[in-house]
């Protein structure tokens, strides 16, 4: 019997939602203030996944100006009806934002401009009934209510117009923050599954059902059907925010978010996507992993033919015309600060006055850290002309929590410098003079520590210093995201005259 290892999408891929079209499965996750937005993945066997694009890859679809790292795109949900894919999501921003739908006939895109939906709340999802009528579900607080309900209205998905009044369906079991609704019709009954308890240690998944689409909905007597809130020793924590789906053989599964903690109830890789089997009891209620919780990271694989997509290379040589789909920007990128063509085979970055301590589109590209133990390194050529110019390697959680290993100028000296950026404090750990020419900058991570190294002219790596993981944990940094490893350039308050060239970036997990 074949087995797979959870998480199926390691690193910061939270709030998963899934749909099946024929023998293909498509999955989307939250992306917050990173651009492009809403990564979309495809699988044939639920174990091997390949990213096929982003649903939001134009600023006209996703304007991230002025947002914090916790804003942006929350909790997308994907559906398929009448030959079209639909993704509903919340664009969260202070004093505005809203809920929208984008559509495409091809999951790989291109996707439409957003259609804004006249419905309050967050975490939208779509339900299409047997007559292809479209219903929009969100989490919202109705007038006269002291807590949120899951609410629904029939809408026109082409215009976003509500066709019925907003109706409350269920408010959950009384726990914190009912959210992430998904509605299913199974065996002639309607099932409404939601998350509660908040997305940290109290997270859970609850379910209710009704004979009628509009309710009333009766909660499962065994709620929560998934939670690890009283089992802090289990390898997966914060389990919840799931989506149910059926395979062609009639078996059921759930994707859900969870975390692998690096220390007690603290995590820095982000909320990840997990896969777990679901059965049904004789009363017609779902049992997640036979009601046992998720006690192991390894499970028996679904009964689907294996379909690997091929291993992505550890090293990005920057020799393509565009960046790999694994890379993200912070906010909307300023195009003239990035070039793959000016020096073929190299990525050229031009720093601006914006630093990594701001979300106003710093010159940065990053990819998710997906493993506790990993070695990441870059080859950089950078000759700063002034003392404000800086470029190098970043271990980034948020504007208020990141580490940098960079090249700067002090007088006539070119130096490699390790700095910790925490809240509004900046601490210099170490610096060392280096001659002109290419440098290798590297970081080696464990569950407890990031160790920073450098090398000259392809020589041996020399340790410069280290920094603790704990300051970049989401519970300390107060973020919903995970650590990104990336490249940056900045003028630290002024425009940079010197560009930085990167020959390659390498990400190598270390197998125990």
Is 316 among the residues known to form the active site? no
Residue 502 CA: distances (Å) to CA of 27, 71, 172, 318, 337: 32, 30, 51, 8, 13
Run of H or E residues at 477: helix 474-477
How many CA atoms within 13 Å lie on the side-chain side of 9? 32
**Cα distance from N-terminal residue to C-terminal residue, the chain:** 24
Residue 355 CA: distances (Å) to CA of 361, 442, 492: 9, 21, 6
Catalytic, out of 15, 123, 371, 503:
15
Catalytic, out of 71, 179, 243, 390:
179
Partners of 455 in beta bridges:
440
How far is 259 from 270, CA to CA, in rounded Å?
7
What tokens does 445 get?
Answer: 């991570």
* Nearest C-alpha neighbor of 276 from the set 263, 289, 290, 285: 289
Confirm if 403 and 421 have CB atoms less than 8 A apart. Answer: yes
How far is 294 from 237, CA to CA, in rounded Å?
9
- Residue 335 has a CB neighbour count (10 Å cut-off) of 7
* Nearest C-alpha neighbor of 327 from the set 54, 87, 66, 510: 54
Residue 157 CA: distances (Å) to CA of 4, 17, 335: 37, 19, 33
Partners of 134 in beta bridges:
128, 155
Give the position of tokens 């789906």: 245
Strand order in the sheet with 122-128: 122-128, 134-140, 149-155, 167-170
Is 65 among the residues known to form the active site? no
| Helix residue spans in 278-319 (DSSP H) | none
Give a three-class secondary structure readout of 387-435: CCCEEEEEEEEECCEEEEEEEEEECCEEEEEEEEEECCEEEEEEEEECC
What sign for the dihedral angle of Cα 427, 430, 432, 437?
Answer: negative
How far is 449 from 331, CA to CA, in rounded Å?
28
Please identify every residue annotated as catalytic: 15, 179
């Amino acid at each position: 019997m074949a087995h797979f290892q959870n998480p199926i999408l390691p690193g910061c891929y939270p709030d998963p939602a899934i749909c099946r079209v024929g023998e293909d499965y498509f999955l989307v996750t939250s992306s917050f203030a990173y651009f492009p937005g809403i990564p979309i993945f495809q699988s044939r066997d639920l174990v091997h996944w390949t990213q096929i694009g982003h649903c939001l890859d134009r600023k006209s679809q996703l304007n991230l100006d002025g947002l914090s790292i916790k804003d942006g795109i929350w909790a997308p949900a994907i559906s398929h009806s009448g030959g079209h894919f639909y993704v509903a999501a919340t664009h969260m921003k202070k004093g505005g934002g809203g809920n929208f739908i984008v559509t495409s006939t091809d999951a790989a895109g291109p996707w439409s401009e957003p259609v804004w939906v006249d419905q309050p709340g967050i975490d939208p999802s779509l339900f299409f009934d047997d007559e292809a009528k479209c219903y929009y579900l969100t989490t919202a607080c109705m007038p006269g209510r002291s807590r949120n309900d899951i609410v629904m209205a029939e809408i026109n998905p082409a215009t976003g117009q509500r066709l019925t009044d907003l109706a409350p369906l269920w408010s959950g079991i009384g726990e914190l923050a009912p959210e992430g609704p998904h509605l299913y019709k199974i065996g002639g009954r309607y099932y409404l599954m939601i998350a509660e308890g908040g997305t940290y240690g109290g997270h859970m998944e609850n379910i209710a059902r009704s004979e009628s689409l509009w309710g009333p909905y009766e909660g499962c007597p065994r709620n929560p059907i998934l939670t690890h809130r009283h089992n802090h020793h289990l390898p997966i924590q914060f389990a919840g925010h799931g989506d149910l789906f059926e395979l062609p053989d009639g078996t059921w599964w759930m994707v859900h978010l969870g975390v692998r903690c690096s220390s007690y109830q603290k995590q820095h890789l982000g909320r990840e996507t997990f896969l777990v089997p679901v059965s049904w009891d004789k009363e017609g209620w779902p049992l997640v992993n036979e009601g046992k919780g998720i006690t192991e990271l390894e499970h028996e694989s679904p009964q689907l033919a294996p379909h690997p997509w091929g291993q992505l290379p550890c090293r990005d040589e920057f020799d393509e015309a565009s960046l790999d789909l694994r890379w993200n920007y912070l906010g909307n990128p300023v195009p003239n600060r990035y070039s793959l063509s000016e020096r073929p085979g190299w990525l050229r970055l031009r720093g601006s006055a914006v630093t990594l301590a701001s979300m106003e589109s710093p010159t940065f590209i990053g990819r998710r850290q997906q493993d506790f133990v990993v070695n990441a390194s870059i080859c950089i050529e950078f000759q700063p002309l002034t003392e404000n110019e800086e470029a190098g390697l970043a271990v980034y959680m948020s504007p208020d929590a990141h580490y940098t290993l960079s090249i700067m100028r002090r007088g006539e000296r070119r130096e490699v410098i390790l700095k910790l950026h925490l809240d509004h404090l900046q601490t210099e750990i170490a610096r060392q003079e280096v001659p002109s020419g290419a440098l290798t900058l590297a970081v080696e991570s464990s569950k407890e520590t990031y160790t920073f190294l450098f090398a000259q002219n392809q020589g041996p790596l020399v340790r410069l210093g280290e920094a603790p993981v704990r300051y970049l944990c989401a519970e300390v940094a107060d973020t919903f995201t995970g650590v990104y490893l990336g490249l940056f350039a900045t003028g630290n308050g002024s425009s940079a005259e010197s560009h930085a060239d990167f020959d390659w970036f390498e990400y190598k997990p270390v197998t125990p």
